[in-house]
Amino acid sequence: MSFFFNICIYTCLTVALNVYGGNIDPFMDSQLFMINWAGPLEIIKDVDENQMVMTTTNNEKYKCILPETMETKEEARKRYHGPTAFELMKTLFTQTTCSYRVESYWTYELCHGKHLRQYHETKDQGQKPKLQEYFLGLVSLESLEKANAEESSDGKNKYESEVKVRKIDGISLPYYEVNMTSGTPCDLTKEPRKARILYVCQPEGHGEIYQLKEMSTCEYEVIILTAVLCAHPDFRPKNPPVSQIQCHALDGSPPKPRQLHTFIQEETLADQIETQGIEFKVETTLPDGVKKTIVIPKKPDPVPTLGTTTDKQLIREFLTGDYCLNGGRGWWKFEFCYGKYARQYHDDKDGRTILYLGYWNEDNHKHWLQANYHKRPKDIGKRKHISLHYGGGDVCDETGTARVTEVKLKCVENPEHPHAVALFLMEPTICEYILVIESPIFCGLLDKANEDGIFQKVEI
């Protein structure tokens, strides 16, 4: 590894120092470079202020060209003529779905642009469910529009001129802040609960709760991942981009330094042995002069394990159907019990109205996989999600057929919150549903499912 770093340090720092006349501090990492070995350079020009010739210890010569100066934040803002941050966020505030975080006791419900709620439902057989809930903050679209219309001291839109940044996992992330107030009165302070919701750009985010903390008594802070903000240059991550230095071979030198080429081959082989478990043969000569081939056997496939911080009892109860996941807002809420059913329900003074979206049946699930082969689980070690078929639900009035639901159990890495669960229910076709359940819990669990995606006799 040392040779590569020597090449990189020599090229990156020497070229940068030459180009910028020594104005770059070599101990700063505000501008990152990556070398691209771009092959021979047919037309050789004189070395100018953006180029230099580098010679390796093996007398291999390369002309290295530093990239153009990076576009500044102000230049990016001038070129941007798209929607404002509020206009982008409004698509999230006006949607009907909510985000959920399920912990061992409390479930947290965030309805964007509406409220943040925590609740726990106790179910005793033969009795009506008992609900314990607290609103941690409320907000309306009208108040958000009013806040967006406020101007800062420079006469510009408040959210466009005062972009705040929070460092998360070592990355500086700009965020869009929503303040929720007037929640359920706090038992200790007697003041209404309130919450700060910080939305950050994440290209694959769709409003899930990344972090939820009680910063002080009955005052909360929630970090939300969303892709909608990524369209605005001011809200993209502030980690520095990596610029490419183009290095071209001169005077018959190889396209890439020989030592670097050898190093990459050795690293690739070592990586294959480590990650792919390939069988490796080595020829050697014994002291008596006899040649022998030594075979390093293929490593056994790793046994999937669950993280030590995961609540294993919770997983056991989930896989037996004793622990159900709840979500939804408004009139209908939904409930998923693994190996049993997916359903919607509504509670009012007259009792509970239930609509079953699908029941579990192993044979029906296998037939569904045969008809939809692309839904089969990937090989062990490559799984990010598994799909399960819940069919034979209540008859749909519009189609006259039984409701069906595809349940996706999806692995989402989040070491800080190993119990976090996000649920999303969609209806892409009338009475045909997709229920997505995302959680770090599934990351150590998916490989324990069989080839049909079914958990059978799983040891937790």
Question: Tell me: the pLDDT tens digits for 131-150?
Answer: 889 999 999 999 998 888 77
Amino acid identity of residue 410, one-letter, is K
**Cα separation, 438 vs 448, whole angstroms:** 17
| Mean pLDDT value across the chain | 77
pLDDT at 26: 41
Residue pLDDT, tens place only, 381-392: 889 999 999 999
**Cα separation, 289 vs 341, whole angstroms:** 70
Q: Does residue 42 have a pLDDT over 70?
A: no
pLDDT at 299: 46
- CB-CB contact of 114 with 124 (8 Å): no
CA atoms within 13 A on the CB side of 451: 2
Q: Do domains 76-235 and 312-448 have the same CATH topology?
A: yes
pLDDT at 360: 96
- CB-CB contact of 201 with 229 (8 Å): yes
Residue 4's SS3 state is helix
CATH class as words, domain 312-448 = mainly beta
Kindly give, in sequence order, each residue whose CB lies less than 8 Å from that of residue 370, ignoring residues fewer than 6 positions away: none
- CB-CB contact of 371 with 364 (8 Å): no
Kindly give, in sequence order, each residue whose CB lies less than 8 Å from that of residue 194, ignoring residues fewer than 6 positions away: 136, 137, 179, 180, 181, 182, 183, 218, 219, 220
> Among residues 330, 355, 329, which one has the least CA distance to residue 342?
355
pLDDT at 13: 39
> Among residues 33, 13, 11, 10, which one has the least CA distance to residue 24?
13
Residue spans of the domains in the chain: they are 2-70+241-256, 76-235, 266-296, 312-448
> Among residues 237, 229, 71, which one has the least CA distance to residue 159?
229
* Residue, of 310 and 56, whose pLDDT is higher: 56
* Residue, of 14 and 72, whose pLDDT is higher: 72
> CA of 180: how far to CAs of 41, 48, 109, in Å?
60, 57, 13
Residue 446's SS3 state is helix
- Mean pLDDT across 338-346: 92
> CA of 329: how far to CAs of 114, 246, 262, in Å?
11, 54, 59
Give the DSSP per-residue string, 27-79.
T--SSEEEEEEEEE-SS-----TTEEEEE-TT--EEEEEPPPPPPPHHHHHHH
* Residue, of 284 and 143, whose pLDDT is higher: 143
Four-residue CA torsion sign, 285, 288, 289, 292: negative
Structure tokens at 222: 């929630």
Residue 277's SS3 state is coil
Query: What is the C-alpha radius of gyration for the chain, rounded to an integer number of angstroms?
Result: 29
Q: Does residue 1 have a pLDDT over 50?
A: no
The pTM is what? 0.46
pLDDT at 361: 95
Residue pLDDT, tens place only, 167-181: 876 677 899 999 999
> Among residues 269, 263, 240, 260, which one has the least CA distance to residue 36?
260
Q: Does residue 441 have a pLDDT over 90?
A: no
Phi, then psi, of 37 in degrees rounded to 5: -80, 100
**Cα separation, 270 vs 275, whole angstroms:** 9
CATH number of 76-235: 2.70.130.10
* Residue, of 52 and 293, whose pLDDT is higher: 52
* Residue, of 271 and 108, whose pLDDT is higher: 108
- CB-CB contact of 385 with 446 (8 Å): yes
pLDDT at 29: 45
Classify strands 219-226 and 194-201 as parallel, antiparallel or unpaired. Answer: parallel
Q: Does residue 77 have a pLDDT over 90?
A: no
* Residue, of 95 and 186, whose pLDDT is higher: 186
Residue pLDDT, tens place only, 359-403: 999 999 999 999 998 899 999 988 999 999 999 999 998 889 999
- Mean pLDDT across 287-309: 49
- Mean pLDDT across 21-39: 57
Structure tokens at 173: 């992330």
* Residue, of 45 and 313, whose pLDDT is higher: 313
pLDDT at 139: 94
**Cα separation, 43 vs 69, whole angstroms:** 24
* Residue, of 298 and 336, whose pLDDT is higher: 336
> CA of 210: how far to CAs of 125, 226, 228, in Å?
34, 10, 16
Q: Does residue 19 have a pLDDT over 50?
A: no
> Among residues 100, 102, 184, which one has the least CA distance to residue 136?
184
pLDDT at 137: 95
Classify strands 206-216 and 32-40 as parallel, antiparallel or unpaired. Answer: unpaired
Number of separate helices (H) and strands (E) present in the chain: 8, 23
- Mean pLDDT across 31-48: 63
Would you mind telling me the total number of residues written for the chain in this entry?
A: 460
**Cα separation, 323 vs 276, whole angstroms:** 37
**Cα separation, 337 vs 342, whole angstroms:** 6
Q: Does residue 437 have a pLDDT over 80?
A: yes
- What strands lie across the sheet with 51-55, from one edge to the other? 32-40, 242-250, 61-65, 51-55
DSSP code of residue 181:
B
> CA of 170: how far to CAs of 31, 131, 173, 235, in Å?
16, 39, 9, 16
